[in-house]
Amino acid sequence: MNRWLGRLRARLQRPPPAIGEVLWQQALLEFPFLPRSPSTQSLELRALAQQFLAGKEFHGAAGLAITDTMAVAIAAQACLPVLGITAPRRGLDWYGDFVGIVVYPGTVRAKRETIDDNGVVHQYHEEIRGEAMHQGPVMLSWQDVAGAGQSAADGYNVVIHEFVHKIDLCDGAADGCPPLPAGFMGAGSAAAARRLWQDTLHRAYRDFSDRLSLAERFGGAPVWLDAYGATSHGEFFAVSSEAYFVNRPRFNAEFAQLTLLFDAFFNPPGSAD
């Protein structure tokens, strides 16, 4: 028994396998929103992605075989939101409630069920590109993951979207307000910090929903963010966060107050520039 425990302890203390230089440079080339090598932020992201790969399990679905290139691409993008957060959790502690990542070749047609106010059950199908469940796995469409470099102009990134849901869910509720550190943006209490966050996010959500309604119903100017963000506060947090990380200049032009809020929480590379 002691010998077995010794081998287990040694395995757990062993540093995670390094991401090869070719694989890492390929990820930086494919996804230009990642911090550039050889910056300190790029080195830190690479180390965090190595830890992520050591602790997560990838599963290909519908015949998809997961390659090292695919795993590194997902890990690098998944770790970007938690790269700068130091409180109330740090790094991969935000992703500690799950192990599995299921990757499909493309979109998945999922069966859904809702119950209306009269108790009637409605069943329908929904095309999904990603999904994150509380204390459950993350599902991703590889087609969308692979195209993240091109879709950054539109503020779209399925990996960041789903992993921000995981951050949001750390307190058990997908309500668009993650656990916040003490003294967040000068707030005197946890309740005050939460009110500050919700006031800012909800105001931006209402403005976005109004602009979307004008565009869809009355031919107003098209909105930049994915319309799915108008579904709920939780979805708006995820949709706006993906845009914030992959196209910061455009996001700041559209949502300056959210940029300040997200900078205070995510503390991303280059936010002080």
Q: CA of 34: how far to CAs of 28, 62, 166, 268, in Å?
A: 6, 29, 20, 11
At 194 the pLDDT is 96
Concatenate the DSSP letters of all residues of 29-90 into one string.
HH-TTSPPTTSHHHHHHHHHHHHHHHH-EEEE-TTPPPPHHHHHHHHHHHHTTTSS--SSS-
Strand 121-128, strand 108-115: pairing: antiparallel
Nearest to 176 by CA among 250, 241, 130, 259: 241
pLDDT in tens, the chain (273 residues): 555 555 545 544 556 678 999 999 999 999 999 999 889 999 999 999 999 999 999 999 999 999 999 999 999 999 999 999 999 999 999 999 999 999 999 998 777 667 767 777 766 657 899 999 999 999 999 999 999 999 999 999 999 999 999 999 999 999 999 999 989 999 999 999 999 999 999 999 999 999 999 999 999 899 999 999 999 999 999 999 999 999 999 999 999 999 999 999 999 866 544
User: In the chain, what are the domain boundaries?
Assistant: 2-266
Which regions of 83-232 does DSSP assign to beta strands (E)?
100-104, 108-115, 121-128, 130-132, 138-141
- Gap between the terminal Cα atoms of the chain: 54
As beta bridge partners, residue 141 has 104
Question: CA 33, CA 119: separation in Å to the nearest integer?
Answer: 46
Predicted confidence at residue 8, as pLDDT, reads: 45
The CA distance from 213 to 204, in Å, is: 14
Tokens of 73: 């691409």
Report how far residue 78's alpha carbon sits from residue 8's, in angstroms, rounded to the nearest whole number: 28
Q: What are the E-state strand segments in the chain?
A: 57-60, 100-104, 108-115, 121-128, 130-132, 138-141
Secondary structure of residue 115 in the 3-state scheme:
strand
Give yes or no for a contact between 35 and 77, defined as CB atoms under 8 angstroms apart: no
pTM exceeds cut of 0.85: yes
Residue 128 bridge partners (DSSP): 108
What architecture is the 2-266 domain classified under in CATH?
Orthogonal Bundle (1.10)
